A and B are shown apart, each in its own frame.
Chain A
Amino acid sequence: MPEQPGRSAIEVRGVRKVFGTGESQVAALDTVSVSIRENEFFTLLGPSGCGKTTLLRLIAGFDFPSAGEILLHGQDIAPLPPFKRPVNTVFQNYALFPHMTVAENIGFGLEMLGKPKAEVKARVAEMLKLVKMEALSNRRTSQISGGQQQRVALARALAPQPKVLLLDEPLSALDLKLRKEMQIELKRLQHETGITFIFVTHDQEEALTMSDRIAVMSSGKILQVGTPWDIYDKPAERFVADFIGETNFLTAAISGMGNGKARATLKSGATIDATVAEGFQPKDNATVVVRPEHAKLTSGKGDLSGTVENIVYFGTDTHIHVRLDSSETFTVRQQNTRSAGCGFERGDKVGISIGNDAAQVLRD
């Protein structure tokens, strides 16, 4: 079946989810709209309680929205029970059936769909091969390791060939090394199966490395949707900039806006070029963000000036914390070389120069 690239697999339109009644009412999702494309690795990123899991559960059908529509290939699925949606879930703690073997777990969905035995068997074998679990097909799920359970959970959810696969923090229970392995594995599976993945995580690094696009959520709202590059380099709001990676926040006066760019005059008096977040409303004191690796420390005069307060060595790079003359702090990340130190010492008077394409003006 030829699929047009960019067609939306899931479209969430004005969805609200309210828990509780009366005084204790809480809006877990506050009028959220987002469009998720076909064959996309889409990540819902945010701290716990931001509504990302609620949104996932609404798409899966475990909860029903208080308002709004959820379209799957154009058809409203919000009123359908979960067993009538061509959508499968990989649960946070896998939720494998303890009374079944690995193979029985993987075949369960197909069996429930009423597929003939031979087909189920063939598909289970195929899935076992896909997740490299052939040798353990007759084991009970309690007899395999966490990483193996993870693979079985993936195979079980992929076996019925869902239109969309939902993953609820599937890697959070694994140790670091296994997590890195599974990240690569997940990307491979998504690529091989061509299924739309909707991935929920609170781990910003995981989101950046795995996703085609990311939606950053906070307090029941989607703050920004974009590619990892967009989210990292062009955060729209303070929360996004702060949640993902390390950032320097500066106050500036904005002038000469046009074409998504502007001139920002910093407290130091220097004026730098900056990109402007969508939806920015001109105001006196706007916030400008500069990532630590996009600024350079100089011993001469720069756009900003200050005193080196602390130097932290990280192996690949060094973080230099500078107390600006305007009393704000600013961190510069400098790539390390083998031959020399970072070239600065505590108490040094330094300048900071900000590159041409290093600053972003936030909308809030």
Chain B
Amino acid sequence: MASAEQVAKDAERREIRDRWLLSAPALIIIFLAATGPLLIVVVYSFLTPGPYGDVVWKFSTDGWLSVLMQRDIFDDTLAFADAHLSIFWRSAKLSFMTTILTLLFGFPTAYFIATRPARQRDIWLFLITIPFWTNLLIRTFAIQEVIRNEGIANTVLIKLGIISQPIQMMFTDFALMVGMTYVYLPLMVLPLYASMEKIDFRLVEAGYDLYANRFQVLRRVIIPLVKPGIIAGSILVFIPALGAYVTPRVLGGSKNMMLGNLIELQFGQGRNWPLGSALSLSLMAIVMVALLLYVRAVGRRGGAHG
């Protein structure tokens, strides 16, 4: 007769096996779709660039060194070069501005939607998400149509006699800001709305009741309560903005490069895949550090539901 101990042991073993089998799909996806590709990028960043793109399987740290340094073509010495660093900085600055702008425009929009009667809200949300269904490239070209020298904005201003010469907006940071703010606005509005919708508006009334004027209610009651949405929205906008590729390419031109374009360059004309890989990994590292700092900074005074 099998001892009770034996039966228990078998059952336990079976359970362990089942657990692995059941989690296999998740593990496979995590490895194939997330960890695996990332490992390839890490490996590539330590290889030598091939003459026509691709890589040669020879270990090299040049990819990483090139992120911040430049090898002199004559005497082969390494010297600090800020070309990439300035693009990093520029990207971070523009992404930060995009985040601020989407927050400024998105906050009132989300508040407006959240304060509509429940039945109307879906319609407003639907309107916000419509641009998502249009191809990003098309939307970006549409903006180009508005702000180019012969575009709608300049034509109207000239017709109205406000300006006599078209204002050069294309291929400037302004064009980039308009484009990125427009493209990323829904990503800010939706999480903001999600946390505003949960606000108990009696808290707003309580604020008014306790002598807070509209601005004080906004600052002391609404914003702290919407903080999770502000954090989520800022992350959702800042990260893709940092790696933005299409918008800076179309609206910013070749001079106003952002990180995404720089990385693309290495895999295309630059034929330097290891550098491209190293740059992407640096971008990831920056995002992670920025995220950690941000969450710690805004979370310090304790989240609304902490």
- Which A residues lie at the B interface, using CB under 8 A? 60-62, 81-84, 87-89, 91, 93, 95-99, 108-109, 112-113, 142, 156-157, 160
Q: What distance in Å separates the Cβ of A150 from its nearest Cβ neighbour in chain B?
A: 14
The 7 closest A-B pairs by CB, nearest first: A109-B210, A112-B211, A95-B202, A82-B208, A95-B206, A99-B224, A112-B212
Q: Considering the complex, which residues of chain B in the window 163-222 have a beta carbon less than 8 Å from any beta carbon of chain A?
A: 200, 202-203, 205-213, 216, 220-221
Q: How far is the CA of A84 from the CA of B214 in the complex (A)?
A: 12
Alpha-carbon gap, A87 to B208, bound state (A): 11
Query: In the complex, are the beta carbons of A60 and B209 less than 8 A apart?
Result: yes
A sample of 29 inter-chain contacts (CB < 8 A) reads A61-B208, A61-B209, A62-B205, A81-B208, A82-B208, A82-B209, A83-B211, A83-B213, A88-B209, A88-B210, A91-B202, A95-B202, A95-B206, A97-B203, A97-B206, A97-B207, A97-B221, A97-B224, A98-B305, A99-B225, A99-B303, A99-B304, A112-B220, A113-B211, A142-B305, A156-B210, A157-B209, A157-B210, A160-B211
Complex Cα gap A109–B206 (Å): 10
Residue of B nearest to A82 (CB): B208
- The residue that A160 contacts in the complex, of B208, B210, B216, with Cβ under 8 A, is B210
Nearest CB of chain B from residue A228's CB, rounded to whole Å: 28
Q: Is the CB of A108 within 8 A of B210?
A: yes
Q: For residue A93, which residues in chain B have a CB less than 8 angstroms away from its CB?
A: 200, 202
Q: Which residues of B contact A98 (CB under 8 A)?
A: 203, 225, 304-305
Chain A residues positioned under 8 Å from B117 (CB to CB): none
Specify which of B210, B220, B221, B227 lies most central, judged by the most chain A CB atoms within 10 Å of its CB.
B210
A-B contact count (CB 8 A): 70
Which of A87, A88, A95 lies in contact with B200, CB distance below 8 A? A95
Other than the known A95-B206, A97-B207, what 6 A-B pairs have Cβ atoms closer than 8 Å? A60-B205, A62-B205, A97-B221, A99-B303, A108-B220, A156-B210
Q: How far is the CA of A71 from the CA of B224 in the complex (A)?
A: 35
User: How far is B205's CA from A62's CA once the two chains are assembled, in angstroms?
Assistant: 7
Q: Counting CB contacts under 8 A, is B302 at the interface?
A: yes
Q: How far is the CA of A157 from the CA of B221 in the complex (A)?
A: 16
Q: A-side binding surface: helix, strand, loop or mixed?
A: mixed
Q: Which residue of B lies closest to A100 (CB)?
A: B224
**Using a CB-CB cutoff of 8 Å, which residues 203-256 of chain B contact chain A?**
203, 205-213, 216, 220-221, 224-225, 227
Asked if A89 and B209 sit within 8 Å, CB to CB, the answer is: yes
Q: Which A residue sits closest to B216, measured CB to CB?
A: A112
Distance between B134 CB and nearest chain A CB, rounded to angstroms: 38
Q: Which residues of A contact B304 (CB under 8 A)?
A: 98-99
For B203, the chain A residues whose CB sits under 8 A away are 95, 97-98
Contacts of A88 in B (CB 8 A): 209-210
Q: How far is the CB of A186 from chain B (nearest CB, A)?
A: 18
- A83, B212: Cβ atoms closer than 8 Å: yes
Residues of B within 8 A of A84 (CB): 211
Distance of A151 from chain B, by nearest CB (Å): 16
A201 → chain B closest CB, angstroms: 18
Residue in B closest to A109 when the chains form the complex, CB atoms: B210
CB distance from B198 to the nearest CB of A (A): 11
CA distance A156 to B304 in the complex (A): 19
Find out whether the CB atom of B224 lies under 8 angstroms from the CB atom of A83.
no
Q: Which residues of A contact B212 (CB under 8 A)?
A: 83, 108, 112
Cα–Cα distance between A157 and B210 once the two chains are bound (Å):
7
Contact A89 B211 (CB under 8 A): no
- Chain B residues closer than 8 Å to A60, beta-carbon distance: 205, 209
Instruction: Report A-chain residues with C-beta under 8 Å of the C-beta of B200.
Output: 93, 95
Chain B residues in 8 Å Cβ range of A62: 205, 208-209
Q: How far is the CA of A156 from the CA of B200 in the complex (A)?
A: 18
A108-B207 Cα distance, complex, nearest whole Å: 8
Report whether A109 and B225 are in contact in the complex, using a CB–CB cutoff of 8 Å. no
Contact of B208 among A83, A99, A113 (CB under 8 A): A83
Contacts of A81 in B (CB 8 A): 208, 213
Residue in A60, A87, A98, A156 whose Cβ sees the most chain B Cβ within 10 Å:
A98
Distance, CA A112 to CA B302, complexed state (A): 22
